[in-house]
Amino acid sequence: MSANDTALIVIDVQESFRQRAVWQDDIARPFIRNVQTLIDGATKRKIPVVQILHTDNDDVFQLESGFVRTLEGVEIEPTVQFYKKRHSALVESGLNIWLTERGIRKLIICGIRTEQCCETTTRHASDLGYQVDYVTEATLTFPMQHPSGQVFSVEDIKMRTELVLAGRFARIATVEEALQAASV
């Protein structure tokens, strides 16, 4: 695979999440830095940068809210932008058609949330035959509480996502590994 058949998919990196009670600036800072490095690296290598924004009936995810826009601190001039209403960026968004028309077969996945839209899109992409690099360090999530009361940390959630994706649905890659593989 090379830059000619690879696309960076930036999922739900939007202000909507900053409006949620779970938002934590200290968790978000390294994520923002890593996403920006991926975007800049892809742009430098002429890899298409695809921005996906989530919309739904939740107040902060409605277009009218003004929060369905790029997360502050991230600079992106996407090659193309799609809106989605489902967890997978490949459902009813037009993304799969766009990728197919351009002969793109490899995806680099990053964004918000690690275990939700990023993981779901990765699984779906793999099932459609795409080769996927899942860049965990460029995904963001927040602590979650199980119905039993047990709290799962960001690290726990990311480790679990890597466990279920690695070797089955994606290659787990660092920012640098994903960019290097796309340059070959």
pLDDT tens digits along 39-76: 999 999 999 999 999 999 999 999 999 999 999 999 99
Confidence of residue 1 (pLDDT cuts 50, 70, 90): very low
Confidence category of residue 2, pLDDT binned at 50, 70, 90: low
Is 93 a residue whose pLDDT tops 70?
yes
- Strands annotated E in the chain: 6-11, 49-54, 80-84, 106-112, 131-140, 144-145, 151-152, 171-172
pLDDT value, residue 67? 98
- What is the share, in percent, of the chain residues with pLDDT greater than 70? 98
Residue ranges of the domains in the chain? 3-183
CA dihedral sign of residues 91, 1, 127, 100 = positive
Identify whether the C-beta of residue 104 lies closer than 8 Å to the C-beta of residue 80: no
The pLDDT tens digits of the residues spanning 125-157 come to 999 999 999 999 999 999 999 999 999 999 999
For the chain, the average pLDDT equals: 96
Residues 6+ apart with CB under 8 A from 68: 14, 15, 16, 53, 54, 55, 61, 62, 83
Q: Are 17 and 115 in contact (CB under 8 A)?
A: no
The secondary structure of residue 173, as a DSSP letter, is -
Lookup: tokens for 166: 């690695």
How do beta strands 171-172 and 131-140 pair? Answer: parallel
Strand, coil or helix: 47: coil
pLDDT of residue 126: 98
Q: Is the pLDDT of residue 3 over 80?
A: no
**Regarding the domain with residue range 3-183, which homologous superfamily does it belong to in the CATH classification?**
Isochorismatase-like (3.40.50.850)
CA separation for the pair 84, 91 (Å, rounded): 7
Q: What is the pLDDT of residue 4?
A: 84
Q: Return the bridge partners of 6, or none.
A: 106
Q: What is the pLDDT of residue 75?
A: 98
